[in-house]
Chain A
Amino acid sequence: MLKTFLVGILLGAAAAAGALYAIPAVDQYREVSIISVSPNGGNTESFHINMPMDRIMTGAPGGTARLPVGMKWPDDPVLANVRSEIFKIRNARDAVIGVAVRTVAREESVDVIDWVIHLPARGSLFINMDPVPQDGGQRIGRVQRGAREFEPLTGLVEERWVSDTSGEEDAPAGRIELVARLVGSLLPEHERAEEATE
């Protein structure tokens, strides 16, 4: 009987090791990516944020409305010109696929507008927007950095506000649309950094 017990110990340890090896400890749910191929060979992916229901945080100085209720936004003068918003972000099928932050700051009369989009199963994008909007009201930003799945990609992201015209009672007031046009980069990382600096 002692031998059986000892064999059981070995089998139990082997089974535990096998289970840890075979069964993934983390299984991130991933929505199917909706990507279309652009005529120039890059790819295009569209994201949007339904307002106001996808807004997690609105932080701004002064008397601006703050979200969520009960949040204490720092009243430090250092952050007097910084406004930051955090959102859930959706794909073209209106499914939530990630989270994003948009920060606007004024630096010596120049606005800095940055986005970070984080898609847990895929990676992240860091985008620096042109503070001056285009004629149609949209803004264009450059991808400064991609992480994980987006690491080898560079490109542009267009941001625009689309008001809701459906007239439905529970419809959002509008949405922020982000259209990413990305291409693979053949340049080594250090050369990409130099190019971005230029």
Chain B
Amino acid sequence: MKYVLALLLGLATGGVLFGIGLAYTPFFGNEQLSPLAVSDSQTLMLGYPAVTTESIVFTNDGESRVHPHPEKVLQLWEAPIRQSSVMAVVLWDSRNETAGLGIKFASTSQSTRLLDGRAIVDSVWYLYLPGRGSLFVEQTENYWDFLRDIVFPAYRSSADTWRGQWLGNMTDGPGALGTAKVTGGSGDFLGQSMLGVESMSVRAWRVDRGVLAGEGQLVIELPTHPSNDPASGDEEL
């Protein structure tokens, strides 16, 4: 009997040790340097609030950790959309002025492979920038670093809260360098194909409410035109 108990205890310990080892292995995770950080092209930088109560609308299945906002918004309870969320936000530019409207659809991905450190979310953004045109951003995001650095420590904390300074690239593809594919739909962007990267900056996260303080940022590499001055740096909207 004592051998059976020892075996069971060993099985449980082995499972837990494997989980801890997997969660904290240093070999997994996104590149911290954005692939667009070394780009010579002009970039368009758009910020948005990562706190759902600061969004225009946020909805999901209604049973997740992050609650829909506002309270009476229609929830995504049907089976095909239950693992998805929708967020509408005001986008701001590098001067912190309103630049446009952004709507993000995100769904957990079947390409998630926890053994490879891949907690994948398939997401698309629709961006409308008045005076400029519309953009469509398609990407796969890897939340592994976010889970390891913020969510797990928050669950371990007696206050169920994580506080600190975290900045990470969320975009993991489908571009070869871990970039999102961006397509212009109208205006100045019509027919243009571009690259993009989404990142998040988080200062506080709570188990029952998600992000308490933080911002998101979309960086889009604009196509190079002969008329553009390549040395002009970040674009001013």
Q: Give me the interface of A with B, judged by CB distance under 8 Å.
A: 1-2, 4-17, 20-21, 24-31, 55-57, 59, 68-74, 76, 78-79, 81-82, 84, 86, 88, 95-99, 101, 103, 105, 107, 112, 114, 116, 118-121, 123-124, 126, 128, 144-145, 147-148, 189-190, 193-194, 196-198
* Distance between Cα atoms of A30 and B109 in the complex (Å): 12
Instruction: Give Cα A1 to B2, complex, Å.
Output: 8
> CB distance A74 to B98 under 8 Å?
yes
**Of listed B56, B83, B98, B100, residue having the most chain A CB within 10 A:** B56
List B58-84 residues whose CB lies under 8 Å from chain A: 59, 70-74, 76, 78-84
Which of B72, B82, B101 makes the CB contact (< 8 A) with A84?
Answer: B101
Q: A5-B10, A69-B70, A71-B56 are in contact. List 11 more A-B contacts (CB 8 A).
A: A12-B15, A81-B130, A95-B78, A96-B78, A96-B81, A103-B101, A114-B134, A116-B124, A118-B124, A126-B183, A144-B184
A57 with B6: CB separation less than 8 A: no
17 A–B pairs (Cβ distance < 8 Å), ordered by A: A9-B17, A12-B14, A21-B115, A25-B114, A26-B83, A28-B108, A56-B59, A69-B72, A72-B56, A82-B130, A99-B76, A107-B131, A107-B186, A120-B122, A126-B136, A145-B138, A147-B122
Q: Is B57 an interface residue (CB 8 A)?
A: yes
Contacts of B129-161 to chain A: CB distance below 8 A:
130-131, 133-134, 136, 138
Whole-angstrom distance from the CB of A14 to the nearest CB of chain B?
A: 8
Q: How far is the CA of A154 from the CA of B122 in the complex (A)?
A: 21
State whether B14 touches A11 (Cβ < 8 A). Answer: yes
Known contacts A9-B17, A56-B74; is-contact A116 B57 (Cβ 8 Å): no
Residues of A contacting B107 in the complex (Cβ-Cβ under 8 angstroms): 28, 118, 120-121
Q: Which of B17, B79, B130 contacts A29 (CB 8 A)?
A: B79
> Are A57 and B73 neighbours in the complex by a CB distance under 8 Å?
yes
CB distance from A90 to the nearest CB of B (A): 9
The answer to whether A15 touches B101 (Cβ under 8 A) is no
Query: Which residues of B (98-119) have their CB < 8 Å from a CB of A?
Result: 98-101, 103, 105, 107-110, 112-115, 119
Indicate if the CB atoms of B81 and A114 lie closer than 8 Å.
Answer: no
| Interface residue ranges of B157-191 to A (CB < 8 Å) | 181, 183-187, 190-191
A81 to B128, CA, bound (A): 11
B18 and A79: CB pair below 8 A?
A: no
